[in-house]
Amino acid sequence: MKQGSLWIVGTGMRAAGQVTAEARSAIRHADKLFYLVQDVVTAAWLEEQNPTAESLFGLYGEGKDRRQTYEEMVVTILDVVRTGQEVCVAFYGHPGVFVDPGHEAIRRARGEGFEAGMLPGVSTEDCLIADLGFDPGRCGGQNFEASDFLLRHRIFDPTSHLVLWQIGGIGVKDYSSEPLWNPRGLVVLTRVLAESYPVDHVVVVYEAAPYPPFPPKVLRQPLAELPHAAVTVRSTLWVPPLPPRAVDPERRAEILRDR
**Domains of the chain listed by start with CATH number:** 5-119 (3.40.1010.10), 124-239 (3.30.950.10)
- Indicate whether this model's pTM tops 0.95: no
What's the rounded mean pLDDT across residues 144-155?
97
Q: Which of 92, 175, 197, 206 is catalytic?
A: 92
Amino acid at 250: E
Closest by CA position to 144, among listed 111, 94, 110, 98: 98
pLDDT of 122 above 80: yes
67 in active site: no
Nearest to 238 by CA among 124, 121, 153, 137: 124
Identify the pLDDT of residue 20: 95
* pLDDT classification of 258: cutoffs 50, 70, 90: low
The predicted model gives 14-29 an average pLDDT of 93
Contact 88, 35 (CB under 8 A): no
- Average per-residue pLDDT for the chain: 95
| SS3 of residue 138 by DSSP | helix
CA 19, CA 27: separation in Å to the nearest integer? 10
Question: Catalytic: 211?
Answer: no
Handedness of CA 152, 124, 134, 236 (dihedral sign): negative
Q: Say whether 70 is catalytic.
A: yes
**211 — pLDDT class (breaks 50, 70, 90):** confident
